[in-house]
Amino acid sequence: MPTATARPRRKRLTERELLQMPSDGRKYELVNGRLQIVPTAHDTARL
């Protein structure tokens, strides 16, 4: 009988933690504590 394995919960980020991250040229936003990369016009031009 297969057993369910619990996925480890990721720590949710705070706004303070987001602002302390080093800049890498990408745009990010927090959605429910999860870091999301925001597509920019430059990113979509390569598609």
> Where are the domains positioned within the chain?
15-45
Q: What was the pLDDT predicted at 1?
A: 61
Q: How confident is the model at residue 12 (pLDDT cuts 50, 70, 90)?
A: very high
pLDDT digit string, tens, across residues 19-45: 999 999 899 999 999 999 998 876 555
Model confidence at 2: pLDDT above 80 = no
**Which residue from 46, 45, 27 is spatially nearest to 37, judged by alpha carbons?**
27
Could you tell me the pTM of the whole model?
0.57
Q: What was the pLDDT predicted at 16?
A: 95
Q: Are 44 and 22 in contact (CB under 8 A)?
A: no
**Which residue from 25, 31, 29 is spatially nearest to 43, judged by alpha carbons?**
25
Q: Are 18 and 35 in contact (CB under 8 A)?
A: yes
